[in-house]
Structure 1
């Protein structure tokens, strides 16, 4: 081999080795967070800030209805953390021993509101007025899997209009779909969280569910026992329940929730 060829080979070998070392040093640990669809907007900003503060971690977010995510975790779907919009879904995982010990936190709260398309004129101004037949289509999360739908059912049952409303309900897979239907004018009204309504300029809030008409809206967060990264999961929970993440949540219409 000529001297020039030898030098070129050495330089190439060094470049490959340097690239390999660089790739190794930049390898990130992926943390998968299965989260209620209503958390989508604030989690976008929270994730970006989190990854700047923890450059060795990558936060992957899977959004969906809390009930569907619960079932996926029970069936072994990859998840390191679960952030539910309802207590019942987290309770179900806890009873099955699927949560990482000592990690459960009540990480946010919310309010249930009635929304209409912004441009539509209507005299529907209360949850109770949904019982009147003139409201033909009302978007509601499917109560069996969507916590917002469960809270809606509780509220409407308290007001004695549930039987009337459910015959005209358009059932949805999550609360985000409720909002989309109202925004497009596919329905005359919808029941969503205040945080969802606050993030849309195409709907207007006409009423808040009466106090005591439904169970408190609490968003519990916990690590999943099957995680391969328990220390990183605990650190992520500390961040998500810390002041910066909580400030972002409150800017998006969420409320503070105290740990139980």
Structure 2
């Protein structure tokens, strides 16, 4: 234990030496996809300590956050659950390719409430009773829902199952619906299912059925604290942040993560 504490302290000291120097303690506003809720609650305090900054964390669906940034929300860093919404902002001049990095990957799983029979595959959801529902993120704004729709369209089940769907505002709401029994099944990220002891993972969704699930981080071009925002993206690629991501069910990627 002492060795781990010492190693963490050395890491923070080493990283903080590379942080931007500021005469005043800056505040960085980070808008992050809802699926990052738990892992950011651990990563953000480490970044605050390492770089002597304060962080305001905004959580929600990637689409909703992107539109808030477009409407003028004072955000410095955007962490999306797909490239669709970082591209959306880049095309409108709110992000720059040079200040964008991919830091994590994820995968989809089918979950059920413990009281319901397990569906052993995505295809098996179609065989569920007609009065049973499946919760997914709204495909128009929630990346997890977009990936789920892609997978169901690939296996030609989307049109057949649409009437059984319950659309949620973000992927964490999908998890809540299944935890409470308001939905019989749900499709969420593996990292979301990892956080709950109230649901059962019944199947993994074949990743070849949908686009790769990657998480890009981008500095917003109108950031008031551009250097500190850039430092946070660098922090996400460190070995320490990578291990935290892995601990929460993500696959970490980045220049320094696997060193």
Same fold (TM over 0.5): yes
Match of 2:136 in 1: 140
Is the CA contact 1:80–1:226 (under 8 Å) kept in the aligned structure 2? yes
Pairwise CA distance, 1:26 = 9.8
Q: Which ranges of structure 2 fall in alignment gaps of 5 or more residues?
A: 1-21
**CA distance 1:45–1:258, change in 2 (3 Å):** closer
> Within 5 A, what are the aligned runs for 1:192-207?
192-207=188-203
Q: Does 1:249 align with 2:245?
A: yes
**Whole-Å separation in 2 of the counterparts to 1:139 and 1:74:** 28
Per-residue CA shift, 1:175-208, capped at 9, x if unaligned? Answer: 0000001011111100000000001011111111
Indicate the SS of the match to 2:112.
Answer: strand
Q: Flag the 1:123–1:100 CA change in 2: closer, same or farther, 3 A.
A: closer
Equivalence for 1:14: none
Equivalent in the alignment of 1:239: 235
Contact 1:32 1:61 (C-alpha < 8 Å) held by counterparts: yes
Give the secondary-structure state (helix, strand or coil) at the position aligned to 1:102.
strand
2:89 maps to 93
**Structure 2 counterpart of 1:129:** 124
Give the structure 1 partner of residue 19 of structure 2: none
Paired residue for 1:63?
Answer: 59
- Cross-structure match for 1:53: 50
Once residues 124 and 231 of structure 2 are traced to their aligned partners in structure 1, the CA distance between those partners, rounded to angstroms, is 46
In the alignment, structure 1 residue 218 sits paired with structure 2 residue 200: no
CA distance, structure 2, for counterparts of residue 229 and residue 98 of structure 1:
15
Please state if 1:40 is matched with 2:37. yes
1:16 matched residue in structure 2: none
Matched residue count: 233
Question: Structure 1's 257 and 215: CA in aligned 2 closer, same or farther, altered over 3 A?
Answer: farther
- 1:91-127 deviation digits (Å, cap 9, x = unpaired): 1111112114511001111000000012x24142110
Q: 1:46-75, CA deviations, whole angstroms, 9 ceiling, x for partnerless residues?
A: 1111112122x1111100000000111111
Map of 2:166 onto structure 1: 170
C-alpha deviation, 1:258, in angstroms: 5.3
Which residue of structure 1 aligns with residue 15 of structure 2? none
How far apart in 2 are the matches of 1:148 and 1:193?
Answer: 7
Matched with 2:3 is: none
- Whole-angstrom distance in 2 between the partners of 1:101 and 1:227: 15
Name the CA distance, whole Å, in 2 between partners of 1:156 and 1:236: 36
Structure 1 runs of 4+ off > 3 angstroms?
none
How much is the aligned-residue C-alpha RMSD, in angstroms?
1.7
TM-score w.r.t. the length of structure 2 is 0.86
Matched, 1:108 2:110: no
